[in-house]
Structure 1
């Protein structure tokens, strides 16, 4: 018996038949006749020296050898297909597929896309708003924007900007609550989307502590999606502890204000991620450089705040909880 692999066409025929448990359906998938597919499987069985299928009257069943071979064949063709797609993408410098969380997509990317399209008319952008961890090859993604702590040792990882949180509200509502003390009586909104992530916590109680106020609000509307919480603040419903990336454009353009001057800085941050070696592909480099320019446009918002590291605010006991490594946002 030899370990030499059989012809790829025969293995492909077997894989299709094992998935469909039908020679006819497998032949249709591969666009060959059932007789041709049957011949390929027969040649594979001769190469192996034992049958892979039990041929029944109107169906087929895998033999023990077939059951052993089927998972590896399926995984092998999936891996080969992913590698082929990845290699083909290297030739494409006109399409860019980006994945980011729904909140970042809605509040950071979408409002700015016109500028990128104007500056890069030859690049076709495709977006996947998803929170799940991505496999760049399997999911055919070029760039991922993710929020968390890292590290990302197997990827090219570029921190986009440090992240802070500060109370934001409409100018009209701010006129009713001009001081931080007045927030005791304001309608408080809670963005709970990263409560489980930020360690140490950057919550309302911590912010009031940084402002020198002993207050821990517990009542108010709660939002599991960060962009919904920001939208509620924009509608004048209340005041939310807004994260920099999600509110900075609204602050820069005056739809929201941050009148209390204090922001909490967290070590969690958004990162620009792509496979190592891909960062200088033309469309990826163009998108990365554009993001950095856009961040610089609103840098004055951060400069207008007193930004306090959350570690400087909380007692040591609150700093001892483990730091989560990753958040697909």
Structure 2
């Protein structure tokens, strides 16, 4: 703990990609920042960065040390937040990960409303259609459809969710409208990724169950859910998307719901967070806020 300031400097330098930037953030001159980093490396008998005139790059030892230092500093920040909780203060940065489409079009405006209620909370929103590693990416909360097979995470359900088939009205005017899943092969398809539900569309209606495997050789593919939705809006084919991602487009008439009587497996919206991490007041407040938002929105969409 004697060199806590040096450790903070090291973590900031790794995150910002420069020692001068880190020093400026912590109120240190470039010379002072360099001297403190050298002192830290000497105390560890380890070189943490490879230095060039243009960049600062972590060594393998530096990456290992960064992982542990980030956890340690997070624990200290959480302890400070715990003290703030006693004063009923809700403040600080909250780091959230969400899928690209949902994050941009649903979660982002909700975060604006949340920060109007709690102006001392600063959001940091990471958008990715892959599941972030909460510890490595220093994320407080992950919002995802379904639950990943990871027992180290607490999964709190927030809302029901179904995936729906949809396409642009002008595309359907040109190509016609499928009335049964067995007709899907006559249309163009848009796929997010190539595995699981994204390319194998299982639909059921009563006792009927149909599995349609998208012909990937002729389908448009992307790893970005937002782009897949936009391709559908632009009239490039049929896409299978979460109702939360396309509800605004359906309401505005940019997309048309196909075969609504045919259902897909539910993939409820969950908030995911580590079991071991202390949950600051700002995170608890956001969870309750989102639960209320999802409840109200679900009632309006009749999910």
- What TM bracket, shorter-length normalisation? 0.5 to 0.7
Residue 85 of structure 1, aligned match among 61, 74, 90: 74
CA distance in 2, matches of 1:90, 1:174: 57
CA contact (8 A) 2:200 2:212 kept: no
- What corresponds to 1:203 in structure 2? 200
- What corresponds to 1:250 in structure 2? 249
SS of alignment partner, residue 271 of structure 1: strand
SS of alignment partner, residue 242 of structure 1: strand
SS of alignment partner, residue 86 of structure 1: helix
Shift in Å, 1:112? 4.0
Shift in Å, 1:263? 4.4
**CA gap 1:252/1:32 in 2 versus in 1, 3 angstroms:** closer
- Give the TM-score normalised by the residue count of structure 2: 0.62
Shift in Å, 1:270? 3.9
CA contact (8 A) 1:163 1:266 kept: no
- What corresponds to 1:227 in structure 2? 226
User: RMSD over aligned Cα, in angstroms?
Assistant: 4.5
- Give the TM-score normalised by the residue count of structure 1: 0.58
**CA gap 1:170/1:155 in 2 versus in 1, 3 angstroms:** same
Residue 100 of structure 1, aligned match among 98, 101, 104: 98
Shift in Å, 1:214? 9.4
SS of alignment partner, residue 290 of structure 2: helix
Larger radius of gyration: 1
Shift in Å, 1:272? 0.8
CA contact (8 A) 2:205 2:262 kept: no
CA contact (8 A) 2:161 2:244 kept: yes
**CA gap 1:235/1:261 in 2 versus in 1, 3 angstroms:** same
- Mark the runs of 5 or more structure 1 residues left unpaired by the alignment: 1-6, 17-26, 45-51, 54-69, 305-329
Q: Where do 1:157-172 residues align within 5 Å? A: 157-172=155-170
CA contact (8 A) 1:252 1:298 kept: no
CA distance in 1, matches of 2:77, 2:70: 11
CA distance in 1, matches of 2:62, 2:243: 48
The one-character-per-residue Cα deviations of 1:224-272 (angstroms, maximum 9, x if unpaired) are: 3222111111223332122233223433454323142134333544421
The one-character-per-residue Cα deviations of 1:97-140 (angstroms, maximum 9, x if unpaired) are: 1122334323432354433343433321111224354243x533
CA distance in 1, matches of 2:37, 2:153: 44
SS of alignment partner, residue 31 of structure 1: helix
CA contact (8 A) 1:188 1:239 kept: yes
Q: Aligned residues, how many?
A: 252
**CA gap 1:127/1:196 in 2 versus in 1, 3 angstroms:** same
CA distance in 2, matches of 1:207, 1:33: 58
CA contact (8 A) 2:154 2:273 kept: yes
- What corresponds to 1:191 in structure 2? 191
1:31 pairs with 2:31: no
Shift in Å, 1:83? 0.8
**CA gap 1:30/1:153 in 2 versus in 1, 3 angstroms:** same
